[in-house]
A and B are shown apart, each in its own frame.
Chain A
Amino acid sequence: MKTTVLFPLRPQISISAYNKIVTERVQLSPRREVQRTFWRRKSPSALLLMELIDILKGVELFRGLSVEQLQRLVDISHKEVYHADQVVFDQGAAGEKMYVITQGEVEVRVKGGTGSKQTMVYLGRGQLFGEMALLDQSERSATVVAAQDNTVLYAVASNDFLHLCTSDTGAGYIMMRNLAMDLSFKLRRQNLDTTSGL
């Protein structure tokens, strides 16, 4: 059975983790000691949460959300890791989730008139996809495939996202505005492609 050291109002940690803290406090300079001890005393889940909130702050969709609102978003999102060439979803499938890329790259392919799939764009870190089906409840308009190993996505189910938007209308307004901005950016990009003859 694992023995734990109890800290009042702090996360519980194992004896070995506590010993590591003490050892490091001896070895490090006073300034580093404080920083290292602070981080060690955070529970793993708290660290993960802080890391994830930092990642989400860098995603345009979540620009303007408070830490509390981001935390609610973290509660309804889950991490998915893909290897290169693994399909995230197929064109024509039901759209139940939207995705945020936090690491790696995905390839967006659309089936042409001949039935062959043409790559439309590569999306990298910080980008959002699958949001169209979330908004209009229709089927997937493209096939999305991971373009790199260890492509990390955070998926949010449509129902959970829409529920969050209606239960916290402030967060809902911000995210819907940011969604519109993202679609505007993609439309302007497409217009530039067209005008440049691509």
Chain B
Amino acid sequence: MIFKVSYVVVGGEFPGGIRNEPERPQVGDTVQIGRLKFQVVEIHEIIPPRDDFQFLHATIKPLEEAPNGEAAPDS
């Protein structure tokens, strides 16, 4: 099974991302998008599964500060 996941950052300015994951993300998991790390806070199905693909929408929150020293969105 391949999990196509849309990652959206809670209320922040960070754009989030989309990628295929080999395993279904779980609440509490850490993901890196761009240069920042995030924690998964919520997951739900965005489109019904087809063949070997599941389509998920994950809400995430930043775990660390941005590299330029500014606080990451919603941190």
CA A122 to CA B15, docked complex, whole Å: 7
Number of interface residues of B (CB under 8 A): 25
Give the dominant DSSP class at A's interface: mixed
Instruction: Pick the most buried of B11, B20, B59: most chain A CB atoms within 10 A of its CB.
Output: B20
11 contacts between A and B (CB under 8 A): A60-B2, A107-B34, A119-B34, A121-B17, A122-B17, A122-B19, A123-B17, A127-B18, A147-B34, A186-B18, A196-B8
* A64 and B51 contacting across the interface, CB-CB below 8 Å: yes
In the complex, B46 has a CB within 8 A of chain A? yes
State the B residues within 8 Å of A (CB).
Answer: 2, 4, 6, 8-9, 11-12, 15-20, 33-35, 46-47, 50-53, 55, 57, 59
Q: How many A-B residue pairs have CB under 8 A?
A: 83
Q: Which residue of B has the minimal Cβ distance to A108?
A: B15
| Interface range for A | 20 to 34
Who on chain B is nearest to A59 by CB? B20
**Are B18 and A121 in contact, with the CB atoms below 8 A?**
yes
> CB-CB contacts of A31-69 with B at 8 A, as 1s and 0s?
000000000000000000000000000111001100000
Quick one: closest A residue to B12, CB to CB? A198
Q: What's the least CB distance linking B63 to chain A, in Å?
A: 16
Chain A residues near B (Cβ < 8 Å):
58-60, 63-64, 101, 105, 107, 119-127, 147, 181, 184-186, 188-189, 192-193, 196-198
Which 3 residue pairs are nearest across A and B when measured between Cβ atoms?
A: A124-B19, A126-B20, A122-B17
Contacting pair A126 B51 (CB below 8 A): no
**Most central of B2, B12, B47 by chain A CB within 10 Å:** B2
The answer for the CA separation of A193 and B58 in the assembled complex, in Å, is 11
Residue from the list B6, B20, B34, B35 in contact with A189, Cβ < 8 A = B6
